[in-house]
Amino acid sequence: MSYFYIFLTIVLTVYGQIAIKWQVLKAGALPEPLPEKISFLLHLLLNPWIISALLAALLAAVFWMAAMTKLQLSHAYPFMGLTFVLVLLGSGFFFQEPITLFKVTGVGLIVLGLVVASQG
C-alpha cells in the first residue's frame, strides 16, 4: 500500500503542475506594476483550477505522510523523480512544449538515478 501512496503523491503533484501552468497561460503575462501584480496573483489564487491544484498538493502531502509510516525516506524519495518524467511528457502533450534531446537525456539520468537509489 505504501507504493500506492507514493503513486498518488506523484499523480497529484503532476496534476497540480499541469493545472497551474494551464491557468497561468490562460491568464497571460505577469504585469510589471506591483499593484497589478498583486491583483493578478490574487485573481489566480481564486481560480477554481488553481484551488484544485493547491488541494491536490495538500492531498499529495497527506499520501506522502502515509507512505512515510512504512518506508524509509531515502528509499521512497527517489520515486518523486518520476514527477520530472511525467511533467516533461505532460508539458509536451498539453502545451506543445518542445521535448528536446537534452531534456530527454536529463530525465533519463533522473530515471537511472531512481533505479540505482531505490535498490538499497
Report pLDDT digits (tens) over 16-61. 999 999 999 999 999 999 999 999 999 999 999 999 999 999 999 9
Grid cell listed for 29: 503575462
Encode burial over 80-100: b for 16+ CB neighbours within 10 A, e otherwise: bbbbbbbbbebbeeeeeeeee
Nearest by Cα to 91 from 6, 24, 40, 7: 24
Report pLDDT digits (tens) over 82-118. 999 999 999 999 999 999 999 999 999 988 988 887 7
Domains of the chain by residue range: 2-117
The alpha-carbon radius of gyration of the chain (Å, integer) is 17
pTM above 0.75, yes or no: yes
User: With contact defined as beta carbons under 8 Å apart, do 27 and 40 qualify?
Assistant: yes
